[in-house]
Amino acid sequence: MYVLALTGGLGSGKSTAAEVFADRGAVVIDLDDVARTLLDEASAVRDRVIEEFGPDVRRDDGAVDRAALARVAFATEDATRRLNAIMHPAILAAVAGALDTLALQGEPPQAVVLVVPLLVESPLFLEPVDAVLAISANEETRIARALARGMSREDAENRLARQAGDAERREIADYVIDNEGTPEEFRAIVAEFWDAEIAPRGR
């Protein structure tokens, strides 16, 4: 079972690449989805986040208000670091459990893609992977994509300021794909990459 880490900054195109890989039979585990589950469901992790960042990030149903959390957690480097210190070990444990479950299936998947936005910032997520693919795009392009999804410019710029840059991602990547063209062009490049580089390794 071949495990590929897919990383890139806000608005780089990770979700699109993951969709292409899923269409080709890969099992995709998005660490943002894992984090969302941890913050929605009653857990020690959720309790620690609310305790750390205050009752304003708690919804009436007990789950974490992710928008409110983002406003405070990405406002300063210290706040981001405190959030990551709580979330990342818990996310890694959940991912490791999911990979173990997949590996023990009668027919394990040939390839698993872990979508890891903060791979540079948290290299512990490198532990279970065989290779890293980084998606890059210039900052203004990524901000425009975030705005198109409904994010405010302030929120997008704050998030980008707390993320590693493309140069740092290239340093840890085995493969890099630039996403500056049309969505159709990007999908075609990603598909070609998968067919040439990853699919043969998962056999």
Tokens describing residue 113: 């893609």
Answer whether 195's CB lies under 8 Å from 24's CB: yes
Phi, psi values for residue 117, rounded to 5°: -60, -40
Average the pLDDT over 48-57 and give the result: 94
Query: How confident is the model at residue 94, as a pLDDT?
Result: 94
Residue 123 neighbours by CB under 8 Å, 6+ apart: 172
Coil vs helix vs strand at 3: strand
Kindly report the average pLDDT of the chain as a whole number.
90
Q: What confidence category does residue 203 fall into, taking pLDDT thresholds of 50, 70 and 90?
A: low
Q: pLDDT tens digit string along 133-156?
A: 999 988 888 888 878 888 888 888
Tokens describing residue 6: 């897919």
Q: Name the H helices within the chain.
A: 14-23, 31-40, 44-53, 66-73, 77-103, 139-148, 153-161, 166-172, 183-193
Q: Give the strand pairing for 131-136 and 2-8.
A: parallel
Tokens describing residue 125: 């997520």
Cα–Cα distance for residue pair 192/65, rounded to 1 Å: 39
Domains of the chain, CATH where assigned: 2-202 (3.40.50.300)
Average the pLDDT over 109-132 and give the result: 92
Query: How confident is the model at residue 165, as a pLDDT?
Result: 81
Cα–Cα distance for residue pair 46/49, rounded to 1 Å: 5
Closest CA relative to residue 190, chosen from 1, 10, 13, 32: 13
Closest CA relative to residue 112, chosen from 19, 199, 2, 191: 2
12, pLDDT greater than 90 = no
Average the pLDDT over 81-90 and give the result: 92
